């Protein structure tokens, strides 16, 4: 089994799905000759041609709308947005059209579109290239939202998303593209959309994270193991639908919960997990649920010191774990 980078696992999933089903197409800005802004679609144009690999104008609403039209006519489109910040012009197409297609048609039609986009901050990308958008879309019934954290999951979940009969928003924290590596089978496999994964067993408290935050949480947990605090780390990985069973089982086991996410803390995705635990597992808790999210400022600053101030890292997570363990 080969070790691959996160971005290479995504590229491999594209190639395998293109070879598996000739209805699969990709469209977006620079997905053809350039191979995508980060290389996710590299090699597809040379192998499959311009009818299946379509460079689109700088018009995100059009990219989403055309993809929805393709799906309505029997294709399986993957629409790439270069950065999550650019997806906002397509919000109405995704929410009002794609997400509601099955409900509006009384279950007569689905809308099998994958909307792929990098999200999150890294390396001074600042405003317009660093936003976390998951809470906007996880709020909307009718669209699934996934945020894989490992190369294995990136390939398996993207293949599941392509084969899903309804729209899927596929989020890739761009810090992981070339840093995170892992074993990825060359065989055809899928990772089901829905189940979370316990990445580290523990007994003292539970940490819930996804995307890049999972890796920071795992490193924090390993550090604190040396201090006698045994943290369980759960990779949420599918934000909608949410795996409530795994979350509640973990809380029942450890009796304490910390939720970590990079998005602004106020009304961020972690609030949903916190509410779930409060409603369904209140009597399992020995301490209040803690949310550790990004500061409530409009965007991640360009300045290096201010960027570091914004980021949730292993040190901040470790501090939160110590605080929770002491309650």
Closest CA to 278 of 291, 265, 268: 291
Phi, psi of 171 (to 5 degrees): -105, 130
- From the candidates 14, 129, 173, 215, give the one annotated as an active-site residue: 129
Closest CA to 98 of 147, 141, 132: 141
Between CA 109 and CA 106 the distance in angstroms is 8
Omega prior to 191 cis, within 30 of 0: no
Q: Are strands 238-240 and 144-146 parallel, antiparallel or unpaired?
A: antiparallel
Residue 211: CA count within 13 A, CB half-sphere: 27
- Looking at residue 283, what DSSP letter applies? G
Between CA 313 and CA 217 the distance in angstroms is 8
Tokens describing residue 268: 């961020």
On whether the CB atoms of residues 256 and 287 are closer than 8 A, the answer is yes
Q: State the burial class of residue 227 (Cβ atoms within 10 Å of its Cβ: 0-12, 13-18, 19+).
A: exposed
Between CA 147 and CA 194 the distance in angstroms is 11
Specify whether 129 is catalytic: yes
Crossing angle of helices 151-163 and 6-20, in 10° steps, is 30
DSSP string, 283-313: GG-SS--EEEEE-SSSS--SSHHHHHHH---
For 21-72, where are the alpha helices, taking DSSP H only?
Answer: 44-48, 60-72
Tokens describing residue 247: 């979350």
- Chain-centroid distance of CA 277 in Å reads 21
* Catalytic residue positions, numbered: 129
């Amino acid at each position: 089994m080969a070790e691959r980078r996160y971005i290479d696992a995504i590229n491999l999933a594209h190639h395998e799905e293109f070879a598996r089903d000739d209805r699969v197409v990709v469209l977006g800005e620079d997905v053809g000759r350039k191979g995508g802004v980060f290389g996710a679609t590299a090699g597809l144009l040379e192998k499959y041609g311009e009818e299946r690999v379509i460079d689109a104008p700088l018009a995100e609403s059009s990219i989403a709308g055309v993809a929805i039209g393709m799906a309505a006519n029997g294709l399986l489109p993957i629409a790439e947005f270069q950065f999550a910040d650019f997806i906002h012009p397509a919000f109405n197409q995704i929410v009002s059209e794609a997400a509601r297609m099955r409900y509006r048609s009384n279950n007569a039609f689905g809308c099998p579109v994958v909307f792929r986009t990098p999200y999150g901050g890294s390396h001074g990308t600042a405003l317009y290239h660093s936003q976390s958008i998951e809470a906007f879309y996880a709020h909307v019934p009718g669209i699934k939202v996934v945020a894989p954290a490992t190369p294995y999951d990136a390939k398996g979940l993207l293949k599941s998303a392509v084969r899903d009969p309804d729209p899927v928003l596929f989020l890739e924290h761009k810090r992981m593209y070339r840093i995170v590596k892992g074993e990825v089978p060359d065989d055809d496999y899928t990772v089901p959309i829905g189940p979370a994964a316990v990445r580290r067993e523990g007994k003292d408290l539970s940490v819930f994270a996804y995307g890049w935050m999972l890796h920071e949480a795992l490193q924090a947990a390993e550090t604190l193991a040396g201090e006698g605090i045994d943290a369980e780390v759960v990779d949420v990985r599918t934000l909608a639908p949410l795996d409530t069973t795994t979350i509640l089982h973990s809380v029942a086991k450890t009796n304490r919960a910390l939720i970590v996410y990079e998005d602004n803390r106020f009304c961020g995705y972690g609030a949903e997990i916190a509410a779930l635990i409060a409603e369904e597992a209140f009597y399992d808790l020995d301490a209040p649920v803690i949310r550790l999210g990004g500061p409530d400022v409009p965007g991640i600053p360009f300045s290096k010191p201010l960027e570091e101030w914004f980021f949730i890292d292993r040190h901040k997570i470790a501090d939160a774990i110590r605080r929770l363990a002491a309650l």
